[in-house]
Structures are given as structure tokens and as C-alpha cells.
Chains A and B, each alone.
Chain A
């Protein structure tokens, strides 16, 4: 693997024992959409480092480019200028090397496939072996053992999204990209899934990049919170969270939690995110 050429010194994990490898590095990244009404500056001067094993959230109002940034990392959008590396490669190479799993805003399950065949879809496409065992392991990871033969319509929205997480993890990518995966779910289901995703992150040691517009969700989940603002889409603050790795929902009452949430809100305010 190619070493990244940007080993900034804050590239320590918060335990501080060892220098972790950078999974995502962005330098002066710009992304402009050409529309009929002229150019839209979706991303402007993005600088970002995501180290291995981190849980990073992008938070901001709609139009701040958080989804665009995630899609650029996934090579679903092309940047206009600046550099972006994923797993030490250009995003396109990372995609061709199947270096990440992507979870969309909607489960995007194929309705004609059973749960197990949905999870097996990437395995079929990539022609990997041990498909049955991989499917089983990942369904187990999202607590859906026993639902193999069900079709998507037989599951609740939360369960469907868990299937899509199992599908993203099926081929064991190092990096998990999640685009507001729980945005369409009610608060109670969301709380539960947030806890599950933290457990999953803890168990698998994946690097997770998570897009959200919920402040509590971002603070609860992340080791690093990237606060973004619109017009042009930019990063206004990067907050390193000192909350312990193992968290329960109670932590949301803790002063440290509230302090971080406050700082996120301040960042959003500074970026004029609360104005029209």
C-alpha cells in the first residue's frame, strides 16, 4: 500500500499509543457542480484527515455538502480541484479496489431478493468465496440471524437499514461510509441503532464516516465531529471527542457530552447555518 504523503502530527489516535494510518486525506478539495443557473460550489477548500479506526461524523444543514463530500470519497462524485486519497489511493482506485462499503439514506435493498441474497449481492458481483459464511457472520453482526429467507417488505424500516449495513460489510471493507442511514427512522429506533452501530464499530475496528444532521447523534457516535456549513460547502470546525470508546445512551446527560454538543452548535452558528 502506498503511504500517504501527509502524516500530520495530530494523526494520533486518542489513546495516543501509536500513529494510525490515514484512511482518508483531503487537501484543498473543491467540488463545483455546473448547473443551468451557473456553478454551485458544493465543496470549497476541504481539508480533512481520517485515521484508521476513527468514527467521524459530518454534520451540517442541508446544502452544506456533507453528502457530496461522502460521495466524493466514494468516487460517486468527482472533485474539481485539490487532492483526495482513500486508503492511500485516488478515490477511483479505492472504488475499483472495493475499498469501502456504502450505506445510503434509504436501505436500497433489491425487493426481489431475500435478506440473505441482498447481503450476498456484493459477494456475487465480486465473485468472493465462502459466501454463505460471510452472509451469516454479517447478519449476526446486525442481529438479524433468523431473517435470512425474508423479503425486504416483510421487515421494518430499521431492520431493512440493518440489512443494508450487513450488505455494506459483507465483503469486509476497511472503511464504512454511511449517508444519514437512520434519517428516515423514528427517534426510538434510531437510538437503538446508534448503540448497535457503536458496538459494531467497536467489535470490527472499522473506520466509519457518518453523515448526519442530528447533533446528539453526531456527538454520541463520533470520535471526531466535522461541522460543515453551506454556500459554499465548507468545514467550519473539527472537534476531537474525548468521550470513552464504550458509550451508553446515558452519556448524553454527561457534562462532557453537552460541552461537545454546545461546541457543535456554536460551529453551526458561526457558519451562519441557522440563518435563512
Chain B
């Protein structure tokens, strides 16, 4: 059953991958023309020279996929992970503040949701602020938050993580408000007939009922937590982290470095989402969901 399902996925995904790679290779030819055209001409032109130079330039405008792959191979597997040249090192820097921010954001979001569900006035007073908080462009608020928090003497990781927290708590709060309110009237009435306390209703009914909503929110928020951590590295002039690699890459025109960092970040995000998906499936199994 599972293998069939996987097979059903693999084919369309592979097809899309191949199409993207082909388009990418094609796009590299005109996009790199600025830097490669003189060399192609000097070598006598022709299809062979065009492809050779377009796809193997040292500092291309758009590197070809295999160049990015080589760069990733070089910086991930050929360098000790604790060296500054290693992408693993930079990824770990970013990932650690991502996870701290994600955890804080989740706790904040769940706490807000519990408050909103139980105290009627909190919904009216907090909800508009929660929503307004997300209309502010993160790029505008990130430098201010980081400067302000930097002055409080908090460890650096919390300063950076605050941006992730800021982005994360929102989907969790919204999802959990909906989730904690998802039990139907009969399930709630039942608790009332037992004269159950609010805490008992929360733990034995509202929380388990909110689990599907929580996982959906967590998958969204873990991905944006990573974005937040990268954004947080930009205004600080950080020297390490995926954000720093992106920034340095664009300063020095190291497109390969940028693309490699981008791909590793995307891969990390996908892994985090996948991990949460596995947790979700495990908890479904424990909660006896219909397979």
C-alpha cells in the first residue's frame, strides 16, 4: 500500500524536476551571455562552445544545476562541519535560532490561543493586535527588534530567534483557537454533565481535538521560522549563518555561494516539515486514527 502510494508520487515529482532542470539549463545560456559571449566568440562560437562556457563559468550570473551541486558537495561534504567554510556550520547557526524561535513561537501561540478560548474579552482585545502584527513587513521590523533586543543583553541566539518567534506564533495561535473550539456541542455538554473543570475540558477534550489543527499550523510555522532566522541574520551583519552566506555572496558576486546556501536552506526547511509530518503520523497512530 505504502509503496504504491510512494510510486504514485515519485513519477509526477520526477517529471516536474526534470522540466525545471531543463528550463534552468536553457535559461543559463542567455542569462550568462553578458559574461560568456566574448569567450564563446573567442573560442570560435558554435553550439559546443556556447554550452561549455555558459554552463561552466566561474562566476556565472545564473549557475547551472551541476555547478550548484558541485558547490554544495564541496561545502557540505568536503569540509569539516565546524569550519567557517562549511555550509553545515552555517546551517547549524541558522537552524539553532530557528528551533529556539519555533519553540518560543509555538509556546506563545498556544498560550494565546488558550487565553482567547477561555476569556471572552481576550479575543476582542488581542485578536486585532495579533492580526495587525502580521501586516507589518518583517524586513521593516526585524532590524528594530534586533537592535532593541540586542541592548537588553539577551544571548544573541534569542535576539535572532525573536524574529522567528514573531513569525511563528501567528499560525499557531490562529490554528489553535480554531482547534480548541473544534469539539462539537455534545462533546462539550458531556463534560458539563460530569461537572468537569475547565482544565479537565482543556486536557481531555479541547487539546486532543486540536491536534490536527496544531500540526497543520506547526508545519507552516517551522518553515517560516527558518525564513525568519535567515532574515534576522541580514541586518546584524552576522558573519555566520545561512543569511550571512547569502549577504556575503551578493556582496562579492558569488552566485554559486548564494545558490548553494539557498538550496541547503530549502532542503533544511523540507526536512523540518517532513519531521513534523512524521511526528504527526506517529501521534495519529497513538490516537487511533483511521488508517
Query: Which A residues fall within an 8 A CB radius of B?
Result: 74, 76, 95-96, 98, 100-102, 104-106, 108, 110-114, 121-122, 124-126, 151, 153
> Is B139 located at the chain interface by the 8 A CB criterion?
no
Interchain CB contact (< 8 A) of A124 among B187, B190, B193, B204: B204
Query: Which residues of A sit under 8 angstroms from B196, Cβ to Cβ?
Result: 125
Also in contact, A98 and B186, with CB within 8 A (given A112-B287, A112-B288, A121-B204): no
Q: Chain B residues with Cβ under 8 A from A95's Cβ? A: 192-193, 195
Overall SS of chain A's interface:
loop
B194 touches A100 (CB 8 A): no
Interface positions of B from 186 to 219, Cβ below 8 Å from A: 186-187, 189-196, 200, 204-205, 208, 211
**Cβ contacts A to B, 29 pairs, < 8 Å:** A76-B189, A76-B192, A76-B193, A95-B192, A95-B195, A96-B195, A102-B189, A104-B186, A104-B189, A108-B189, A108-B190, A110-B187, A110-B204, A110-B208, A111-B287, A111-B288, A111-B289, A112-B208, A112-B211, A112-B287, A121-B194, A121-B204, A125-B196, A125-B200, A125-B204, A126-B194, A151-B290, A153-B288, A153-B290
Write the nearest CB–CB distance from B194 to chain A, whole angstroms: 5
Q: Measured between C-beta atoms, what is the minimum distance from A241 to chain B in Å?
A: 28
Query: Which residues on A sit within 8 Å (CB–CB) of B194?
Result: 98, 121-122, 125-126
- Given contact pairs A114-B288, A124-B204, A108 touches B193 in the complex (Cβ within 8 A): no
What B residues does A111 contact at CB under 8 A? 287-289
Shortest CB–CB separation between residue B213 and chain A, in angstroms? 14
Give the secondary structure class of B's interface: helix
Q: What's the Cα separation between A74 and B187 when bound, in Å? A: 15
What residues of chain B lie closer than 8 Å to A101, measured between beta carbons?
193
Chain A's closest residue to B184 (CB) is A108
When each residue 173-194 of chain B gets 1 if its CB lies under 8 Å from chain A and 0 otherwise, what string results?
0000000000010110111111
Q: Which 10 residue pairs are nearest across A and B when measured between Cβ atoms?
A: A151-B288, A112-B287, A108-B186, A102-B193, A104-B186, A125-B194, A112-B208, A125-B196, A153-B290, A122-B194
CA distance in complex: A106, B184 (Å): 11
A-B pair count, CB < 8 Å, reads: 53
**In angstroms, how far is the closest chain B Cβ from the Cβ of A102?**
5
Question: What interface size band does chain B fall in?
Answer: 20 to 34
| A108 in contact with B187 given A76-B193, A114-B288 (CB within 8 Å) | yes
* Chain B residues, CB < 8 A from A112: 208, 211, 287-289
- Give chain B residues whose Cβ lies under 8 Å from the Cβ of A124: 204
User: What chain A residues lie within 8 Å of B191 (beta carbons)?
Assistant: 125
In the complex, A141→B138 CA distance in Å? 61
A121 to B186, CA, bound (A): 15
CB-based contact A106/B186 at 8 Å: yes
Complex CA gap A124/B190 in Å reads 14
Across-interface contacts of A151 in B (CB, < 8 A): 288, 290
Would you give the shortest CB distance from A259 to chain B, in whole angstroms?
A: 36
How far apart are the CA atoms of A121 and B201 in the complex, in Å? 11
Minimum CB–CB distance for B192 against chain A, Å = 6
For the complex, what is the distance from the CA of A151 to the CA of B192, rounded to whole Å?
23
Question: For residue B201, which residue of chain A has the nearest CB?
Answer: A125
CB proximity of B186 to chain A, nearest CB, Å: 4
Q: What distance in Å separates the Cβ of A13 from its nearest Cβ neighbour in chain B?
A: 27
Residues of A contacting B290 with CB < 8 Å? 151, 153
Q: How far is the CB of A150 from chain B (nearest CB, A)?
A: 9
Given contacts A95-B192, A122-B194, A125-B191, 12 further A-B contacts (CB under 8 A): A74-B193, A95-B193, A95-B195, A98-B194, A98-B195, A101-B193, A108-B190, A112-B289, A114-B288, A125-B194, A126-B194, A153-B290
Q: How far is the CA of A110 from the CA of B201 in the complex (A)?
A: 12
Instruction: List the A residue with the shortest CB-CB distance to B283.
Output: A112
B90 → chain A closest CB, angstroms: 41
Chain A residues whose C-beta falls within 8 Å of the C-beta of B187 in the assembled complex = 108, 110
Query: Is the pair B193, A100 in contact by a Cβ cutoff of 8 Å?
Result: yes
With A122-B194, A125-B194, A125-B200 as known contacts, state yes or no: A110 contacts B205, CB within 8 Å.
Answer: yes
Nearest CB on A from B182, distance (A):
12
Beta-carbon nearest neighbor of B193 in chain A: A102
Chain A residues near B189 (CB, 8 Å)?
Answer: 76, 102, 104, 108
Give the residues in chain A near B208, CB-CB below 8 Å. Answer: 110, 112
* A126 cross-chain contacts in B, Cβ below 8 A: 194
Most buried by B among A96, A106, A108: A108
Question: What distance in Å separates the Cβ of B70 from its nearest Cβ neighbour in chain A?
Answer: 49
How far is B205's CA from A125's CA once the two chains are assembled, in angstroms? 11
